[in-house]
């Protein structure tokens, strides 16, 4: 049952992240050790499946990294003048590793640093994925549809800024925590991408980094157990992840949420999600991600054989619109209202959204097309399906939308 | 800024253009995409191309001019069409490339026009 390879990779990522955090926090520099350590990380991924995860994984990685620094390996792109200081720091880390105590976990500080207000929000997520999980820039670039060399440059610039402006690695104080926590949550959520799926077949993006996003969300929730929103975010991601197997049928075709077979959903993931939602509720402070998770939790009730409570979902969206009136939220609310009170009620809400903001927003057109066709507004539905298909980046969803639009008649293009 | 999206198609994709059973679906894939591009108001120029076997290629080898049937390169994927779009940056150009109906798209920034 346990995927050995995945467990090893997880162990390597955990140790890598802890080491980078330890070194970066003490030196005020994220990039200094990264090259030496990322080579050590790669050799860990090659070696550990054969030898097993070492007793002290951080010590293993550190030894491999130090060897490279001492050898002055020409391939190692470590700045020569930095090597002595790095070695001294490595010594300190080595002592921490061998002290017998658990190696300090300062990854939470790294999460806050990556989402620091002085760093461009667009690079928060890639920076987290690289420095905390050791994901390489090329993979991050593909997930974000960015030219790999451009992504590499943006990451280097952000790290140079951390070093140059001596951005603080300190944890924000209690009064500052809520504002500083928001961008951290946002960045982790962005790594998952839109987990949003619905009757109309909206565009699921950022495939391939979902496990990594969950990994970050777990880390955050574990590090700040008293804060409700990290639990809310984790619950949201786990609910979405629980449906992964049901989202495609055997021939790889897209299956919208309403047609998914709940028997294919992962019960353990749903239960874990519910547990975190309960933990979040204990704080008595509602937030955006708790509401998003509650919406997914309502959908998950189908696994118990209950019908979807659309009126309750619409109400949750109402709360969400007050907290975070994003285009995605507005479209989600309209879809829920259409399910609860009929297509015209939902379409009226869709029409309230300013046209300019949705012109190239695929989910808007997918949802509009679905409910226009239910409302028998066929001409508009054809138009909207056309745009939803033309804007769709996922071939399986595209095929699904083409099938849906075909049902409107043959003269549709 | 102007970017050119070069849409490459495999022999199978080129074959779908003329297959009576797949032709309609092939065309529909383009129709919707082209409409989305036009609705966004970003199209500067566009061209759909006849398949590579219809091409005539000119090559100069050691001063001698040769004309041959077919495309210049013998790669599996061949240019099937292109769009020049006006978008703020390369990320946006890539996003539009990802929405297209083909599985291989090259995105390049255009040089500024010569005066």
DSSP structure string for B50-63: --GGG-EEEEEETT
Cα angle B89, B92, B95 (rounded to 5 degrees) comes to: 150
And the tokens for A192?
Answer: 């998952």
Q: What is the pLDDT of residue B81?
A: 97
Q: What is the pLDDT of residue A1?
A: 42
- Select the more confidently predicted residue: A176 or B14: B14
Q: What is the pLDDT of residue A97?
A: 72
Domain with residue B79: its CATH number is 3.30.70.1060
Of A146, A360, A390, the CB nearest to B32: A390
- Tell me the average pLDDT across B93-113: 95
CA distance A241 to A207: 11
Domain assignment present for B115: no
Among B27, B29, B32, the residue to mutate for chain A (most A Cβ within 10 A): B32
Look at the pTM and tell me if it is higher than 0.95.
no
Residue B18 has pLDDT above 70, yes or no: yes
Summarize pLDDT for A37-52 with one digit per residue, the tens: 888 888 898 999 888 8
Domain assignment present for B114: no
Range of the domain at B99: 2-109
Q: What is the pLDDT of residue A78?
A: 54
Domain assignment present for A335: no
> Number of folded domains in chain B?
1
Q: What is the pLDDT of residue B113?
A: 82
CA distance A349 to A340: 13
- Tell me the average pLDDT across B67-95: 95
- Ordered DSSP codes for A48-94: HHHH---SSHHHHHHHHHHHHHHHT-TTS---GGGHHHHHHHHHHHH
Helix (H, G, I), strand (E, B) or coil at A357: helix
> Number of folded domains in chain A?
1
CA distance B110 to A1: 52
And the tokens for A317?
Answer: 């969206």
Cα angle A41, A43, A44 (rounded to 5 degrees) comes to: 60
Domain assignment present for A3: yes
The ipTM of this complex is 0.90
Of A150, A360, A393, the CB nearest to B40: A360
Domain assignment present for B77: yes
Spell out which residues of chain A touch residue B98, defining contact as CB-CB under 8 Å.
145, 393
- Secondary structure letter of residue A254 according to DSSP: B
At B8, is the pLDDT very low, low, confident or very high (cuts 50, 70, 90)? very high
Given a cut of 50, the residues of chain A with pLDDT beneath it are 1, 412-413
Spell out which residues of chain A touch residue B36, defining contact as CB-CB under 8 Å.
360, 386-387, 390-391
- Tell me the average pLDDT across B65-84: 95
Q: Whose CA is closest to A276, among A241, A325, A328, A316?
A: A241
Domain assignment present for B78: yes
Q: What is the pLDDT of residue A412?
A: 46
Domain assignment present for B20: yes
CA distance A145 to A139: 10
Range of the domain at A14: 1-105
Q: What is the pLDDT of residue A206?
A: 59
Domain assignment present for A75: yes
C-alpha count within 13 angstroms, C-beta hemisphere, residue A366: 29
Q: What is the pLDDT of residue A413?
A: 45
And the tokens for A328?
Answer: 């995605």
């Amino acid at each position: 049952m346990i995927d050995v390879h995945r467990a090893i990779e997880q162990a390597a990522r955990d140790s890598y992240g802890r080491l980078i955090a330890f070194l970066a926090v003490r030196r005020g520099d994220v990039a200094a050790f990264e090259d030496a350590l990322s080579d050590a990380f790669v050799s860990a991924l090659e070696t550990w499946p054969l030898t097993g995860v070492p007793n002290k994984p951080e010590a293993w990685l550190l030894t491999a990294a130090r060897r490279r620094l001492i050898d002055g390996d020409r391939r190692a792109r470590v700045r020569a003048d930095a090597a002595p200081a790095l070695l001294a720091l490595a010594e300190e880390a080595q002592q921490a590793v061998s002290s017998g105590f658990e190696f300090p976990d300062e990854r939470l500080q790294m999460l806050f640093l990556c989402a620091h207000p002085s760093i461009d929000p667009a690079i928060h997520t890639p920076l987290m994925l690289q420095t905390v999980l050791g994901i390489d820039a090329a993979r991050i670039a593909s997930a974000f549809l960015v030219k790999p060399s451009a992504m590499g440059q943006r990451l280097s610039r952000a790290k140079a800024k951390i070093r140059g402006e001596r951005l603080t690695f300190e944890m924000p104080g209690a009064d500052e925590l809520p504002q500083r926590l928001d961008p951290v949550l946002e960045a982790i959520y962005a790594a998952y991408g839109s987990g949003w799926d619905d009757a109309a077949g909206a565009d699921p993006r950022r495939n391939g980094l979902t496990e990594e996003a969950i990994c970050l969300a777990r880390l955050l929730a574990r590090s700040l157990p008293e804060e409700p929103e990290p639990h809310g975010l984790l619950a949201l991601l786990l609910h979405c992840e629980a449906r992964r197997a049901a989202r495609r049928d055997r021939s790889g075709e897209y299956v919208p949420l309403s047609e998914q077979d709940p028997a294919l959903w992962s019960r353990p993931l749903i239960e874990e999600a519910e547990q975190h939602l309960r933990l979040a509720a204990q704080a008595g402070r509602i937030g955006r991600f708790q509401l998003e998770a509650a919406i997914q939790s309502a959908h998950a009730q189908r696994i118990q054989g209950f019908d979807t409570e659309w009126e309750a979902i619409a109400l949750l969206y109402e709360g969400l619109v007050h907290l975070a009136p994003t285009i995605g939220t507005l479209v989600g609310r309209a879809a829920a209202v259409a399910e609860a009170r009929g297509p015209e009620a939902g379409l009226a809400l869709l029409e309230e959204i300013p046209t300019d903001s949705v012109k190239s927003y695929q989910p808007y057109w997918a949802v509009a097309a679905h409910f226009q066709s239910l409302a028998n507004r066929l001409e508009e539905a054809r138009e909207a399906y056309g745009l939803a298909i033309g804007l769709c980046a996922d071939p399986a969803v595209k095929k699904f939308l083409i099938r849906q639009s075909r049902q409107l008649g043959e003269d549709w293009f | 800024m102007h970017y050119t999206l070069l849409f490459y198609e495999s022999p199978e994709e080129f074959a779908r253009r003329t297959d009576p059973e797949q032709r309609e679906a092939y065309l529909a894939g383009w129709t919707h995409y082209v409409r989305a591009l036009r609705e966004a108001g970003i199209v500067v120029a566009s061209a759909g191309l006849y398949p590579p076997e219809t091409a005539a290629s000119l090559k100069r080898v050691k001063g001698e001019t040769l004309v041959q049937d077919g495309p210049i390169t013998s790669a599996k994927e061949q240019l099937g069409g292109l769009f020049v779009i006006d978008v703020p940056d390369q990320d946006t150009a890539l996003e539009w490339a990802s929405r297209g109906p083909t599985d291989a798209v090259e995105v390049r920034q255009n040089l500024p026009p010569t005066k």
